[in-house]
Amino acid sequence: DGGITQSPKYLFRKEGQNVTLSCEQNLNHDAMYWYRQDPGQGLRLIYYSQIVNDFQKGDIAEGYSVSREKKESFPLTVTSAQKNPTAFYLCASSIRGADYNEQFFGPGTRLTVL
């Protein structure tokens, strides 16, 4: 079945450590996105990528980094510079340039900093 997978589902990190969240899709979508969800804040865009080897900062990129070496994969690294990393992280993908460009979401990763 086609879809988006995120791993792990739950992730615990000590303060000062970098951690990488995985996002893989087999939908042959060009565009991929990372969102952060906090209670009462909705979803906020961290980074997005329209094509391989290219990505842009979203609204809250500070303390995060990404790479897009393969079409299928868009990993997100939460660095020690991110002051408040505990949150729910959602990855999404879409067909680039499509008319309505629906975004399909993965199941999410819950990151907790201890």
Partner 1 sequence: AQTVTQSQPEMSVQEAETVTLSCTYDTSESDYYLFWYKQPPSRQMILVIRQEAYKQQNATENRFSVNFQKAAKSFSLKISDSQLGDAAMYFCAYRRGAGANSKLTFGKGITLSVRP
Q: Which residues are CB-neighbours of 39 under 8 A, at least 6 positions away?
A: none
Nearest CB to partner 1, comparing residues 1 and 99: 99
Rg from Cα positions in the chain: 13
Does 105 help bind partner 1 (rule: CB under 8 A)? yes
Q: Which of 27, 43, 52, 60 binds partner 1 (CB under 8 A)?
A: 43
Cα–Cα nearest to 93, from 84, 85, 103, 83 = 103
Q: Which residues are CB-neighbours of 63 under 8 A, at least 6 positions away?
A: 78, 79, 81, 82, 83, 85
Judged by CB under 8 A, the stretch of 20-28, 38-46, 65-73, 79-87 that binds partner 1 is: 38-46
Judged by CB under 8 A, the stretch of 20-28, 44-52, 61-69, 73-81 that binds partner 1 is: 44-52
| Degrees, nearest 5: CA angle 12-48-53 | 105
Does 100 help bind partner 1 (rule: CB under 8 A)? yes
Q: Which residues contact partner 1 (rule: CB under 8 A)? A: 31, 33, 35, 40-45, 48, 50, 58, 88, 90, 92, 94, 96-103, 105, 107-108
